[in-house]
Amino acid sequence: MSRHPHLTTLFLGLALLAGCRGPSNPPPEEAISGVDLHYGGRVEFDVDAGALDADLSARLVDESATTLAFLLHGALELAAVEGEYVTGHHVEPAPNIDTWNRIAVELGEGAAGSEIRFRYRGVIPTPESRINQISPDWVELSVDTAWHPIVESFDRTLTYDLELGLPAGWTVVSPGTAVAIEDGYRMQTGIDMIDIPFAAAPNLEEASGKRETVFHRGASTETTDAILDAAAYCRAYLDERFGSDRPLPDVAFALPDRPESGYARKTFIALTSVDPDDRVGLTRFLCHELSHYWSTGAAPFTVDNWLNEGFAVFVAAQACRRRYGDESWDKTLADWERRSEGQGTIWTPNDLSRRPYEINYKKGPLALSRLEQRIGMETMDRIVTRYMTDPVDDTPTLLELIEAESDAESRAWFVSVLAESESASAD
């Protein structure tokens, strides 16, 4: 399984109808509370030309800012930004992302509940990785190409109800439902998302489990069976621990025709380079990605992203420990330790910058494993469960939770571990 691409690492079921698939989630009008934006409108695709023509609206569910900045791919020509409370907008190159534009939208007072309408069109170049593309036999789009306006800070959650102008007879796979309509497809979800990802293609085959479906083009039965087996185990494990009030919906897996660059968005996972013989690695990967259905609340561009990734990695290793025994756990710990060597701090109160991959994915879960060793598995399980099911979205709140479930000494000790002091052991 390959590492996610640079932006895809920040984030992250199924009812068949007229060639479309999607998880059986609540419709947008029943979206979970706390979502910030709801997207509507229509996107026309010219798959032969690799082009799109979009007329999208973003409803500001609860917004008090007077300026809201969005990112959009620079190859797309912005025709209009409109809305009852839109007083102006300014477009400039996005900082730190050469191929994107930043659209600063000025809002009048009382804009909450209103809509910003974006009209734009163009051809997004297909990257070398082919992770996002519009072609005659495969359309796949996500945050990596900023194909729709996305809030610059990546701290706003969204739902959507969109029409896609795609050829008849295709299959649309996304974190929500997708049904055929007279002139395309309607794609929607009530799950809180960070972007609008989907894959679509003609002639997709499918292999289905009880609540998981793999969409592919000619994958071996050995491969699809391995995915379904690992996914079913992960679902049962995760729902047992965290799903009493919010169980995991049905999950869709897409297998694109490329050698690498997989990613996940809660109930939609794009898989590449699957080795059906590596059952431990596959289980660990899928349990990690499915853990993000719960472990996703920390702001991704801040130091607290270590919570999103560290807990998901740690829980996935716990799942493999239960299924495959202590040998699997010991090997994982050794890998975390090896790849944590020479890395910087996980968290300090004076440095809130986002940490690199090795810290978020290796050193973070290693710190959690040391905390478990210090306070015991039973207490650690309570902390992990409360982290996953309560609104624990930053490190100070986690530290309060650790003190509440253990003691002040363990909290202070864990602060020193996060800061890489000399006391970074379980003793």
What pLDDT digit, counting tens, does each position of 158-209 carry? 999 999 999 999 999 999 899 999 999 999 999 999 899 999 999 899 999 9
SS3 content of the chain, % helix, strand, coil (to 5): 30, 30, 40
pLDDT of residue 298 exceeding 50, the answer is: yes
pLDDT of residue 350: 92
| Predicted structure pTM score | 0.86
The tokens for 350 are 């004076």
Cα atoms in the Cβ-side hemisphere of radius 13 Å centred on 219:
27
* Residue 234 neighbours by CB under 8 Å, 6+ apart: 283, 286, 287, 290, 316, 319
Report the distance separating Cα 331 and Cα 309, nearest Å. Answer: 19
Cα atoms in the Cβ-side hemisphere of radius 13 Å centred on 174:
30
Q: Other C-beta atoms within 10 Å of 406: how many?
A: 20
pLDDT of residue 423 exceeding 60, the answer is: no
38 confidence band (pLDDT: 50, 70, 90): very high
pLDDT of residue 222: 97
DSSP 8-state symbol, 360 = I
pLDDT tens digit string along 372-401? 999 999 999 999 999 999 989 999 999 999
Lowest mean pLDDT among 26-35, 113-122, 228-237: 26-35
The tokens for 179 are 């049904």
3 confidence band (pLDDT: 50, 70, 90): very low
Percentage of the chain with pLDDT > 70?
91
pLDDT tens digit string along 40-49? 999 999 999 9
pLDDT of residue 15: 27
pLDDT of residue 370: 98
pLDDT of residue 320: 98
| Contact between residue 109 and residue 65 where contact means Cβ atoms under 8 Å apart | no
Domains (range + CATH), the chain: 13-202 (2.60.40.1730), 305-418 (1.10.390.10)
pLDDT of residue 260: 74
